[in-house]
Amino acid sequence: MPATRLDTARIRAAPRMIDSVFLDSPLYRCEALEAVLGCALSIKLETANPVRSFKGRGTELVAGLLAESGPRAAVCASAGNLGQALAWSGRGRGLDVTVVASRFAPAAKLDRIRALDARLELVDGDFDMARERAAAIARHDGIRLVEDSLHIETCEGAATIGLELVDSATPFDTVLIALGGGALATGVGHMLKTFAPGVEVICVQPSGAPAMTRSWHRRRVVTTEATDTIADGVAGRRPIPEVLDDLLLVADDAVLVEEASIIAGMRMLLDHAGLVVEPSAALGIAALLEDRARFADRHVVTIVCGGNVDMDAYHRWIGAAPGHRGARSRGRALIPRARQRTSRRRGMTLQRMDHVGIVVDDLDAAVAFFTELGMEPGGRMPVQGQWVDRVVGLDGVEVEIEMMRTPDGHGALELTKFHAPDLISGAPDDAPPNTLGLRRVMFAVDDIRDTVDRLRAHGGELIGEIDRFEDLFLLCYLRGPAGVIVALAEQLR
């Protein structure tokens, strides 16, 4: 049994103090994701509760103890989820709750905190500045400071997730856990190392907020000056020493993942599991995407820890899934929406044209070109494995792909850069429009001349001229990335 601050007997007793709405969260195999990730995968879903995150397990313990024998008021710093959870638990027990948050926190989280009758104070800074302000309020007002991960109830509440995992009938050998302050990782890790020591506990953190991961690897507290990640729920700069000590005893590894992988993970959870999640909840999928070989042939559990996300930001990050409304147009590229038709021939059904793929030699430049046109990046993802080799008919395929979507969500390009095998040149980059099999992609735009001027800065070259088709359209062809012809049309009013 690891000698952490956590107490296994208290954790076993904790469910009696936690509202049942937070307990026994779903744990299920996700076969749709298994097919694309190359491993057995189970999801532990912590968003199906009133605060849409795991935090309610810990705040139920905190609020329960305060209601029994403590001050009737509490304050916490929060990136959003802890504040919601403490407000919910406090309201049910008649406690006065103050939440200090960054004014840059997602508006959806801040609105929910207000809706739960908590007093909300905003600071012009990040989560660590909110921590300082919360501590000052607690000292001045003589109320309980609830500090996530430091106060043991937040860790032992999270540990009940580990209790449910070890008590389940699901066999697994790896658990991926989002790493921020450390409550979730230390809590779940404590129970796994106590009752299932052979299970590998891997913590996952964004590369733009690496403080706790760096601290784990160096076995001492490492702070950072700033964070740069969309995963606001895990974006701390100053690890707590006591929490790091616990983490060192229960975690087998701590890894960093890139923002593009987080976005790709969010997209995959939507497309293959029907889950709308915040970035922190996609960290486990991001780790699987970045190191498929490590997890091949394993049964992995990933904890989907939160679903509080600003929907405008969500659509900007991942675009719209087929059949969903996309992010709002920025007035650049617009694709007219055609009537949806279904073709049936000899019992076969054509559902839709999904996307067009383009192989490029410079992925960054291609993404910049189509972003300038007005398309929206959907996240970069490495792809490799035997299934890819079998599908494309090549050996040893290693590629990076970036899905670019039109603002209405109905058109998409898949930009692909091959790292292996080597690229093979087909038609020359300056091939004329009548070249057999040449790729041409057409976009409807608001202002064709402005679009051409902007694309020239990204290497776009007019092939002919901008000219008028009757009194209906202005039309032109440009040469784009990897020689692809980008056709533009401006409807005349």
The CATH number of residue 365's host domain is 3.10.180.10
Residues 299 and 360 in one domain: no
Q: Which helix (H) or strand (E) element contains residue 369? A: helix 363-373
Q: What are phi and psi of 181, to 5 degrees?
A: -70, -30
Q: Is residue 124 part of a domain?
A: yes
3-state secondary structure 279-323: HHHHHHHHHHHHCHHHHCCCEEEEEECECCCCHHHHHHHHCCCCC
Instruction: Residue 157: give its domain's CATH number.
Output: 3.40.50.1100
Summarize pLDDT for 189-247 with one digit per residue, the tens. 999 999 999 999 999 999 999 999 999 999 999 999 888 899 999 998 999 999 999 99
Residues 366 and 313 in one domain: no
Residues 382 and 247 in one domain: no
Find residue 119's DSSP bridge partners: 98
Residues 296 and 435 in one domain: no
How distant is the alpha carbon of residue 417 from its chain centre? Answer: 23
Residues 387 and 311 in one domain: no
The residue behind tokens 């008021």 is 73
Residues 402 and 310 in one domain: no
Residues 296 and 418 in one domain: no
Rounded to whole angstroms, what are the CA distances from 346 to 343, 349, 351, 353? Answer: 10, 9, 15, 19
- With b for 16 or more beta-carbon neighbours within 10 A and e for fewer, the 317-351 pattern comes to bbbbeeeeebbeeeebbbbeeeeeeeeeeeeeeee
Rounded to whole angstroms, what are the CA distances from 155 to 23, 399, 443, 459? Answer: 15, 40, 52, 53
Q: How many domains does the chain have?
A: 2
Residues 292 and 420 in one domain: no
> Mean pLDDT score of the chain, rounded to an integer?
87
Last residue of a domain, one of 293, 318, 343: 318
Last residue of a domain, one of 298, 318, 338: 318
Summarize pLDDT for 272-327 with one digit per residue, the tens. 999 999 999 999 999 999 999 999 989 999 999 999 998 988 988 887 333 333 33
Summarize pLDDT for 166-197 with one digit per residue, the tens. 999 889 999 999 999 999 999 999 999 999 99
- The confidence score (pLDDT) of residue 438 equals 64
Task: Name the band, by pLDDT with cuts 50, 70 and 90, for residue 358.
Answer: confident
Its pTM stands at: 0.67
- The confidence score (pLDDT) of residue 377 equals 83
Least confident segment among 1-5, 142-146, 381-385: 381-385
SS3 (DSSP) at 1: coil
Task: Name the band, by pLDDT with cuts 50, 70 and 90, for residue 385.
Answer: confident
Q: Is residue 329 part of a domain?
A: no
- The confidence score (pLDDT) of residue 384 equals 78
Q: Is residue 464 part of a domain?
A: yes
Residues 298 and 377 in one domain: no
Is 466's pLDDT higher than 70? yes
Joined tokens for residue 95:
């406690």
Is 341's pLDDT higher than 90? no
Joined tokens for residue 61:
């313990």
Residues 279 and 418 in one domain: no
Q: Is residue 484 part of a domain?
A: yes
Q: Is residue 323 part of a domain?
A: no
Q: Is residue 336 part of a domain?
A: no
Residues 100 and 164 in one domain: yes
How distant is the alpha carbon of residue 390 from its chain centre? Answer: 29
Largest CA distance in the chain: 82
The residue behind tokens 């070259």 is 461
Q: What are phi and psi of 241, to 5 degrees?
A: -55, -45
Q: Is residue 339 part of a domain?
A: no
Least confident segment among 250-254, 310-314, 371-375, 389-393: 389-393
Residues 422 and 275 in one domain: no
C-alpha closest to that of 198 among 179, 174, 176, 177? 174
List the domain range (segments joined by +) for residue 459.
Answer: 352-491
Q: Is residue 325 part of a domain?
A: no
- The confidence score (pLDDT) of residue 65 equals 93
C-alpha closest to that of 415 among 459, 355, 329? 355
- Preceding amide of 421 cis, omega within 30: yes
Last residue of a domain, one of 318, 342, 367: 318
Please check whether residue 205 is in contact with residue 213, taking contact to mean a CB–CB distance below 8 angstroms. yes
